[in-house]
Amino acid sequence: MNAFTDELFSLDGRIALVTGASSGLGKRMALALARAGAKVVLVARRRALVDEALKEFGKHGCEAAAVPFDLMELEELSALHEKASAAFGSPDILVNAAGINLRDSPNDITLASWNQTITLNLSVPFFLARACVPAMRKAGIGNIINIASLQSFRAFANGMAYGASKGGIAQLTRAMAEAWSADGIVANAIAPGFFPTELTSAVFADDELAALHASRTAVGRNGQLDDLEGATVFLASRAARYITGQILPVDGGYTAK
């Protein structure tokens, strides 16, 4: 980078907390932040996977720490903030990447599966962000990145609970901006298209279905994990300090057609 771009996009001196960081979108977003200079705390439920991710970050020369944690324990999210802060200090970047998509038909949704989806996809981002906000406010800087979805804008079959949670994320992101941006804390969301992850394994296991979704994009292909890196670093950086409450589709133009 030259001095100008470094000033805009470097994350040197920043501290990021990323949930869902052991695999998929969360892991790739966390790695992008780390390679841009941030110290990153990786949070995920499965200890073996988050420890393996930590080793990978070390191979890239990145500073990272792992905190295995079950995010469904909402009452413990303040404790999660404390554990995450023990590694490098209080995070001033939060990426709420953990999520679930059970793909139940409306008749198969149970109260338990509904609550699981809403809790992990919508409640956790709010309560964890609220736990991080006091330190961000004191520092005068904070970047919150939520994960929205194509289903924040439109419906898909067997996506009622997931779609409700992601529609909620879009509005939650705007509400976070309204509540906290006057204190220097910007809140935005990335809305990915179809990327190969655990959540979309059913799509990519069906070649015809994967090809159908690729054909619905403007660029003619589904996403690759490195397609998320630029948007992630941008929304975490000084370059995005006057952007808040926005949903950025990273979908190859799926929502444009």
pLDDT in tens, 186-198: 999 999 999 999 8
Q: Which structural domain range is residue 123 located in?
A: 3-250
Number of domains in the chain: 1
Residue 125 domain flag: yes
Of 162, 194, 195, 234, catalytic: 162
* pTM (two decimals): 0.96
- N- to C-terminal Cα separation, the chain: 35
Catalytic annotation on 254? no
CATH no. for residue 138?
Answer: 3.40.50.720
Residue 257 domain flag: no
Residue 137 domain flag: yes
Nearest by Cα to 14 from 42, 49, 40:
40
Residue 95 domain flag: yes
Residue 256 domain flag: no
Cα gap 150→55, rounded to integer Å = 32
Beta strands per DSSP E along the chain: 15-19, 39-44, 64-68, 93-96, 142-147, 185-192, 247-250
Q: 248 pLDDT exceeds 80?
A: yes
Residue 86 domain flag: yes
Residue 255 domain flag: no
* CA atoms within a 13 Å half-sphere pointing along the CA-CB vector of 33: 34
pLDDT at residue 72 in the model: 96
Torsion, Cα of 164, 170, 172, 173 (10° steps): 160
Our separate counts of H helices and E strands in the chain read 10, 7
Residue 162 domain flag: yes
